[in-house]
Amino acid sequence: MPNAPIYVTMPALAPLEEFNTLLQGVWERGILTHNGPLVQQFERALSAKLQLPGFVATTNGTIALQMAIKALKLQGEIITTPFTWIATISAIQWEHCTPIFADIDPHTLNIDPGSIEQRITDRTVAIMPVHVFGNPCDVEAIQTLADHYGLKVIYDAAHAIGSTYNGNSLLTQGDISATSLHATKLLNTGEGGGCITKNPALQESLKRIRFFGHNEQRDIVEEGFNGKMTEIHAALGLANLTYFDDVLADRKSKYARYKEAFSAHPHIRLQKLQFGETNYSYFPIIFDREEALLDAVARLEAAQIYARRYFYPSVNTFKKILADQQAPISEEIARRILCLPLYHRLTEQAIDRVIRMIGS
């Protein structure tokens, strides 16, 4: 029998009956949205699971980033990383701020604190780092810079659910962290996301912003929009949350299998995990030459194995929406990095096939 195609990722899903049971209640209540009981239950359950000071569930991770910028009332330049998904940048631009790119550390692939400092001016209002592939940033160095220069920190923690720092959820770092619960993330609601902050006033503001800026009396007290999660998405989140530990443990062991195969490879290196503990959500490999990556992609595709060039290209090179800014390290890494298939249902045999196809 021919081998089935292997994709770079697939969603981790709870048994359908468990989702259906939760949907039964939604149908009975007839409440589909507007901060319904399942959204509230999901927020409480996720906060308890990860020991968060609260979770403000949103439509998606991009809106969560925009809500964070709005809640902090930022206007000006936000220093961020070019080695990210375009959503980091579009969130900044939709909130009428200007993205300024610091370059990345070539080993951790996260924003380089030294490069951040070089870009701070009197127009800088915040830093927006990304925990790339779930790998924690150098959060202490970033907080030291923010304190010194009086800047806010918003973490784009889209990849980082389940990552930790000093034993605590990484999502508690910064003034606000914004995560994604998109289908490809370790915990998913189909589409979804959320904001986390230790500051109760900011938490209240985030809740108003996602509901058009309404306060409890239905007065509009700040600029907002529709950032609400629906009951259907919350039901999927609740069902999937039951299996979250399982998904995390599975990812870690599959990551270890790939790591063993590639850590001594003469032409491939791996992302350095230096601060805190990652959630092992992706397995990126960095080739020494782009040609070697293209050869590997061609071999894999011929065998119906679909790895993904991610992040590629470095987002500072999107000239149609951005003014010219250089980030040579990010641009170079983006050309040579490939994320290998990694997901819950992926079998060990499939991983071994991918390893063999990449070769030595």
Ligand X SMILES: Cc1ncc(COP(=O)(O)O)c(C=O)c1O
Residues at the site binding ligand X, with contacts judged by CB under 6 A: 60-62, 84-85, 87-88, 130, 156, 158-159, 180, 182, 193
Smallest CA-to-CA distance from 237 within 69, 90, 50 is with 50
Q: At what angle do helices 231-241 and 37-50 cross, to 10 degrees?
A: 30
* Least distance (Å) between residue 193 CB and ligand X: 5
Q: How would you classify residue 21: left for phi > 0, otherwise alpha for psi between -120 and 50, otherwise beta?
A: alpha
311, 8 contact by CB (below 8 A): no
> Of 60 and 110, which CB lies nearer to ligand X in the complex structure?
60
Helix and strand tally (H, E) in the chain?
Answer: 12, 12
Q: Is the dihedral of CA 50, 53, 57, 58 positive or negative?
A: negative
Strands 164-165 and 283-287: unpaired
Residue nearer to ligand X on the CB measure, 85 or 244: 85
Nearer to ligand X, 129 or 358 (CB): 129
Least Å distance between CB 315 and ligand X? 10
Nearer to ligand X, 80 or 164 (CB): 80
Identify the residue whose tokens are 């992040």. Answer: 311
- Apex CA 294: angle with CA 135 and CA 357, to 5°? 80
The minimum distance between CB 257 and ligand X, in angstroms, equals 24
The nearest distance, CB 2 to ligand X, in angstroms, is 31
Beta carbon of residue 63, minimum distance to ligand X (angstroms, whole number): 7
The conformation of residue 205, written as its DSSP 8-state character, comes to H
* Nearest to 92, CA basis, from 76, 113, 115: 76
Which lies closer to ligand X via its Cβ, residue 229 or residue 261? 229
Cβ of residue 184: shortest distance to ligand X, in angstroms?
7
Residue nearest to ligand X (CB): 61
Report the candidate in 272, 275, 262 with the shortest Cα–Cα distance to residue 307. 262
* Bond before 313 cis per omega within 30 degrees: yes
Between 102 and 358, CB nearer to ligand X:
102
Q: Which is nearer to ligand X, 134 or 358 (CB)?
A: 134
State which residue, 156 or 175, has the beta carbon closest to ligand X.
156
Q: Cβ distance 252 to 28 under 8 Å?
A: no
Considering the complex, what minimum distance in angstroms separates the CB of residue 65 from ligand X? Answer: 6
Q: How far is the CB of 61 from ligand X (least distance, A)?
A: 3
Q: How far is the CB of 88 from ligand X (least distance, A)?
A: 5
Measured at the alpha carbon of residue 196, what is the angle toward residues 190 and 199, in degrees to the nearest 5?
A: 160
Q: Please list, in sequence order, all residues whose beta carbon lies within 8 angstroms of the beta carbon of residue 274, skipping any fewer than 6 positions away.
A: 107, 108, 138
61 or 224, CB closer to ligand X?
61
